[in-house]
Amino acid sequence: MDKRQTRAFEEFAAESGAELLRIATLLTPDPHAAEDVYQETLQRLAARWSRVDNPKAFCRRVMHNIVIDQMRARARRPRELRLFDTGERIDPRSADPHRSVELWPSLRAALDSLTVQQRTVLVLRYFDDRSEAEVAELLGISAGAVKSTASRAIAHLREHPGLAALFTPTDSLL
Amino acid sequence: MPATDEDIVRDLLHRYTDHVRSPASIATEVALRQRSHDRRRRVVSVAAAGAAIGTAAGLVAVAPGHSSPPPGGTRPAIRLTADQRVLYHLSSAAAGQPQGQGRYAVMSTEGDDVKDTSVINSRTGSMWSYQQGSDGSPSGKSFSPHYSPTSAQFAAMPTSPGALRAVLIARWNQQTRPARRPLRPSGPTPVPRPLTVSDNDKVFQQASDLLWNPLVSPALRAALYKVLAAVPGVTVTTSAHDSIGRPAVEISRADSSGLPGGKPDGVSYATYESPATGAVLESSVTYPPGSDIVTPQDPHGTRTVVDMTVYLTVTWASAIPADPYGS
């Protein structure tokens, strides 16, 4: 990687880094792990920078592969105790940023309770705004499986104590 | 306000990560590490380091009558010299070794007081490196896709010395083409000019760069020793030891590449081989004082080893082993 390539690489990271790190944050169980995933992804990109046509697509694919590998490795180890599960019943539809901060533990716990595939599908479909076909291709599963997985994942979130109010119909709050 | 469950999830995921900012330092650090990695690979692998950094070297003194390869390139002498006999012995020892079985070659090494464990995928050539922390530095790991030729690519290389010599020269030419750009265009080093690199330089550098690789088959390793036997300027020391005291055969050669008309700089490439198996125990690149790579402030003595790797173990595995250092 020469100076010109280094500059282009850093420009790419400046432009797309936040979005990639946000995806990593949603995919991994804690912020430190997310930063590790992001860093490993950039490392892999740097190693083949001159040969990658679409760096952002490459990073997304690599990031998901890393997370899935980590999840599999973690599944072979004893399960760690969850530190929080607040079950707060607040109105999370508030646009108040402080409200969204209060939501973090609940959403984190809810995301942690999903399977790797459910979580990945949710992030790809509803954060990355990819079509079912694109998600299917990326994960190597059928479009039907993407649809059913997303549906089950959302149903799971609806049932989570900390998020249930979020999905409650508006008229029932009145 | 979100209406459907999908919209609610979408909104939630975005709000949840609104605060996330990517530290620029991560990308900078990654880029620096990659550049350092690239530079090190060049120094170790080929004379590209000399070409890129602009070190000067002249023609090495070779045995009279051997200043150019004989017609046919690598035809061994009818009467082998003592050094050539040692190299042919190593060739036989290497040929008798079993081919490694398993998808991954796991190689532990040590250099600059740092221990590494490298895992090379024999099918893709990709390499995982786990590095043990030292002096308070944390352990680390890296992934280098397509770092090495694959086992299949090695198996496709010729094992007749003449044909292999031609392949090594072609490989050097291919590898050094992009690396001729200067890595440090400003600073105290002189502006590099095109180097004259003899075919014998290329062959020695390439052969010594391949010998350590665990994916190299016994037949190819045996052929590489025969190729080295026909390279002028090769010095063989049978009573050597590597850095950790293992008995070894030292094969070294002062590189003759350099600026046109320049005097030899004495950059020396050396590998230490196990006399019993032909396996590489250690490799090093040594620069003498006065070389452009050795700065006046360099604290080392009369000679500076700029890169040394001690090969400790090679095993084979069917799956990627866990990080032995827990990084």
Closest in A35, A44, A107 to B12, CB measured: A107
A6 touches chain B (CB under 8 A): yes
Q: What is the pLDDT of residue A63?
A: 84
Closest in B1, B9, B18 to A157, CB measured: B9
pTM score, whole prediction: 0.49
B319 touches chain A (CB under 8 A): no
B interface mutation test: which of A35, A36, A42, A131 has the most B CBs within 10 A? A42
Can you state the percent helix, strand and coil of chain B, rounding each to 5?
Answer: 30, 20, 45
Q: What is the pLDDT of residue B186?
A: 44
B12 touches chain A (CB under 8 A): yes
Q: What is the pLDDT of residue B40?
A: 56
Check CB contact under 8 Å for B27 and A92: no
Identify the closest residue of chain B to A36 by CA–CA distance: B26
- CATH 1.10.1740 boundaries in chain A: 3-75
Closest in A18, A107, A126 to B10, CB measured: A126
A7 or A82, greater pLDDT: A7
In terms of Cβ atoms closer than 10 Å to its own Cβ (0-12, 13-18, 19+), residue B275 is middle
A&B contacts, CB < 8 Å: 108
Residues A105-125, buried b or exposed e (16+ Cβ, 10 A)?
bbbbbbbeebebbbbbbbbbb
Domain A97-169: give its CATH code: 1.10.10.10
* H or E stretch at A98: helix A97-112
Distance of CA B267 to the CA centre of its chain: 15
The torsion defined by the Cα of B313, B319, B324 and B327, in degrees rounded to 10, comes to 140
Q: What is the pLDDT of residue B272?
A: 95
Name residue, tokens 């014998």: B200
Q: Where are the alpha helices (DSSP H) in chain B?
A: 5-16, 24-45, 48-53, 82-95, 151-155, 161-179, 199-211, 218-229
Closest in B13, B14, B27 to A17, CB measured: B27
The per-residue pLDDT string of chain B (327 residues; one tens digit each, 9 = 90 and over) reads: 556 888 888 888 887 777 777 666 677 777 776 776 666 555 444 333 333 233 222 222 233 333 344 444 444 435 678 888 899 999 999 999 998 888 899 999 988 778 889 999 898 888 888 888 666 666 777 787 778 888 988 999 999 988 999 999 998 888 776 444 444 444 444 444 446 678 898 899 899 889 999 999 999 999 999 999 999 989 999 989 998 999 999 999 988 766 556 655 667 888 999 999 999 999 988 876 655 554 444 444 555 666 788 999 999 988 888 878 775
Q: For residues A51 and B146, what is the distance between their CA atoms, to the nearest angstrom?
A: 12
Decide if B291 contacts B95 (C-beta within 8 A). no
B279: DSSP letter:
-
Can you state the percent helix, strand and coil of chain A, rounding each to 5?
Answer: 75, 0, 25
- CATH 1.10.10.10 boundaries in chain A: 97-169
Q: What is the pLDDT of residue A169?
A: 57
B197 or A131, greater pLDDT: A131
Q: What is the pLDDT of residues A88-126, one digit of tens each?
A: 333 333 444 444 445 677 788 888 888 878 888 888 888
Check CB contact under 8 Å for A126 and B38: no
Q: What is the pLDDT of residue B195?
A: 60
B135 touches chain A (CB under 8 A): no
Check CB contact under 8 Å for A47 and B6: no
Check CB contact under 8 Å for B28 and A21: no
* H or E stretch at B105: strand B104-111
Q: What is the mean pLDDT of chain A?
A: 75
B277 or A34, greater pLDDT: B277
B40 touches chain A (CB under 8 A): no
B277-280 LR contacts (CB < 8 Å, sep 24+): B277/B93, B277/B94, B277/B97, B278/B90, B278/B91, B278/B93, B278/B94, B278/B95, B278/B97, B278/B221, B278/B222, B278/B225, B279/B94, B279/B97, B279/B311, B279/B314, B280/B211, B280/B212, B280/B311
A66 or B240, greater pLDDT: B240
A21 touches chain B (CB under 8 A): yes
Cα separations in angstroms, A139 against A43, A62, A114, A143 = 22, 11, 16, 10
Closest in A43, A103, A129 to B142, CB measured: A43
Q: What is the pLDDT of residue B135?
A: 65
Give the pLDDT mean for A36-53. 85
Class of the domain covering A3-75: mainly alpha
Q: What is the pLDDT of residue B217?
A: 94
Identify the closest residue of chain B to A104 by CA–CA distance: B16
Q: What is the pLDDT of residue B48?
A: 32
Decide if A135 contacts A121 (C-beta within 8 A). yes
Check CB contact under 8 Å for B143 and A40: yes
Closest in B16, B31, B142 to A103, CB measured: B16
Using alpha carbons, select from A170, A156, A127 the residue that is nearest to residue B3. Answer: A170
Check CB contact under 8 Å for A167 and B8: yes
